Every structure is written in structure tokens, then in C-alpha cells.
Amino acid sequence: MTILSFTLILLAGAFLAGLLGSLTGLGGGVVIIPLLTLVFHVDIRYAIGTALIASIATSSGSASAYVKEGITNIRLGMFLEIATTTGAVVGALIAVFIPTSIVAVIFGCVLIFSAIMGLRKKREAFSDEDVSKLARDLKLNGTYPAGGELVSYKVRHVPGGYFMMTFAGVMSGLLGIGSGALKVLAMDNIMRIPFKVSTTTSNFMIGVTAAASAVVYLQRGYVSPGLCMPVVLGVLLGAFGGSRLLVKANTKWLRIVFSVVITFLALQMIYNGVNGKL
């Protein structure tokens, strides 16, 4: 295979990943690493560097729209970014000491977790009851526009959420993914934030979190331009196309299919990791 055909196939694969990722809300980054390692037999370290850059691209691209609409809770995002960036730096640090086969297994587990998170029934659990002094002092409570009016919500369990965010940051730095599923879990289930706010705020934070570890990986030589070029352009185009299609598509079935695909890829990553093939 020549570099030209390799680039074109990768571009198509990344486009599909970005399209499905944005249609299902699972993010395109999750399939970039299995795509590169399992299909193209790229070393997992190059794959991690590439996926990190792709996640910065998609996160910044879609965050720009949400921030303008005023859904994103900028203060909450800013505060939790202390946790995710320190986590990401720690993750990038320990990545050197962990064998790639174990990284592959951890990646597979996080991937399966993301698939389950994508399928679970969502139940709003936020309330306007003001119980956390810390949330008040840090000005984390907010409002978001829904159906022409502003809905207000109060944040809970700030330390628990902060801790979970640090963990999400470590995973992001170690595996080169946005770990949006972990971030949303911390915000929905622990901090009791409305879905719309938690998904957009998570998205807003992914870029900064990924950037914190990306500078380390770039200097380590993990970020290869030959891979980043088709992947970044493909994922961005796909995500843009997905946001256009979103209104028309039946996302329920798509989510199920995509989750099955992700689980299959995850098992393969774990299998290859255990056998030392990655």
C-alpha cells in the first residue's frame, strides 16, 4: 500500500468515525484507536497521539456552538478543568511506565464502559434545591435555556465530582481519548447536573484536557503528521456532517449498532493486549 491510498482509506474511516460519533453522541475519538491499531496495524503509541489531536479538533469544533447558545456552564467547566488537566498530566506521565499491552486492556475496558453508558436509560436527576455550600461559594450553580425559558439547577457533591474528574483526566492522558463518558458520569450521577449542561460542559473541557497531555506526547514523538492529517480532517468533516444529519436520523438504532461495534472492538483490543500483540 502506498502512503496515498493509506491516507485516503484512513480519511474515509475517520470520516465514518466522526459521523457515527456525532450522531450517537459517543464521540469519534473512541473508535480512532481501534481503527488505527486493529485495522491499520499502527503502533498504539502513534494511535494515542493521533486520537488525542482528533479529540481536540472535535471538542473545540462543537464546543464553539454550545458556548454561544449559553448551555455550557463555563465556571463549572473551568473549575473541573483543574482536576482534568492535573489528571491528564499524571496520565501522560504514567503512560511511560505502563506496558502497551496493559494500556490496550485498560482502553478496552473504558470502551465497553462508554458503550454501556451510551445505551443506558437516561433519567434527569437535577433539582433546584440549594444544598452545597461549596457549590455556592464556587458559583457553580447555573441556568440553561430550554424551550424558550431559563431552567435553573444546583450542583451537588463537589468533592466527589472533582475526584471523578481527576480520574477521567488520568484516563484521557493515559489513553489519548476525551473520556467524555466518565466526565458525563461524574456530572450527571454525582454532581446532579442536567444532561444538556453536562454533555456540553464535558465537551467544552475535553479540548483543554487533551491539550494538557498532547503537549507532552508531541514532544515525545507520539504525534505523527502523516496520521494526524487524514484523521483530523476526516473526523472533523464527519462530525460536521453528523450535526447536519442529526435531526433526520433515527439515533436510537444507530446508538445500539454503534455500541455493539464498540464493544466488539473493545474485546478485540483486550484480546490482543492479553496476547501481547499490541
Partner 1 sequence: MKRLFSSHFWADKDVQQLIGKQLRIGVILSSIVVFIGGMIYLSRHGHESPDYGTFAGVRQGLDNLPGIIQGIMQGKGMNVIQLGVVLLIATPIIRIALSVFAFLLEKDYLYVFITLLVLGVITFSMVGGLERL
**Residues 117-146 close enough to bind partner 1 by CB under 8 A:** 138-139
Residue 98 CA to residue 96 CA, distance in Å, equals 6
Q: How far apart are CA 220 and CA 92, in angstroms?
A: 10
Sign of the CA dihedral running 76, 78, 79, 85: positive
Q: Which of 230, 238, 242, 273 binds partner 1 (CB under 8 A)?
A: 230
Q: At what angle do helices 100-119 and 251-274 cross, to 10 degrees?
A: 160
Q: Select from 112-120, 125-133, 150-158, 206-214 the region that touches partner 1 (CB under 8 A).
A: 206-214
Q: Distances from the Cα of 169 to the Cαs of 52, 53, 162, 183, 251, in angstroms?
A: 12, 15, 10, 9, 28
Max intra-chain CA distance, the chain: 61
Question: Grid coordinates standing for 164?
Answer: 471523578
Closest C-alpha to 21, from 263, 240, 270, 275: 240
Least distance from partner 1 to the Cβ atom of residue 177, Å: 16
Q: Which of 109, 229, 256, 274 contacts partner 1 by CB under 8 A?
A: 229
Residue 149 touching partner 1 (CB under 8 A): no
Q: Is 260 in the site for partner 1 (CB under 8 A)?
A: no
Q: Measured from the CB of residue 145, what is the shortest distance to partner 1 in angstroms?
A: 12
> Measured from the CB atom, is 123 or 148 closer to partner 1?
148
Are the beta carbons of 111 and 34 closer than 8 angstroms?
Answer: yes
Which segments within 81-215 are labelled E, that is strand?
142-146, 149-153
Shortest gap between Cβ of 76 and partner 1 (angstroms)?
11
* DSSP, res 249: S
Per CB under 8 A, the segment of 17-25, 177-185, 221-229, 244-252 that binds partner 1 is 221-229
Q: Contact with partner 1 (CB under 8 A): which of 12, 39, 65, 246? A: 65
Minimum CB distance to partner 1 smaller for 112 or for 208 = 208
**By CB under 8 A, residue 6 contacts partner 1:** yes
Q: Is 179 in the site for partner 1 (CB under 8 A)?
A: no
User: Considering the complex, what minimum distance in angstroms separates the CB of residue 61 from partner 1?
Assistant: 5
Kindly report the CA angle at 244 between 242 and 250, in degrees rounded to 5?
65
Q: Which residues face 151 on adjacent strands?
A: 144
Q: Which stretch binds partner 1 (CB under 8 A): 26-34, 72-80, 120-128, 265-273?
A: 72-80
Residues 6 or more apart whose CB falls under 8 angstroms from that of 54 comprise: 14, 28, 29, 32, 228, 231, 232, 235
Could you identify the residue written with the cell 494538557?
212
- Binding part of the chain for partner 1, among 22-30, 41-49, 117-125, 261-269 by CB under 8 A, reads 41-49
> What residues make contact with partner 1 under the rule CB under 8 A?
1-4, 6-7, 36, 40-43, 45-46, 53, 56-57, 59-61, 63-65, 67-68, 70, 72, 74-75, 78-79, 81-82, 85-86, 88-89, 92-93, 96, 138-139, 207-208, 210-216, 218-230, 232-233, 236
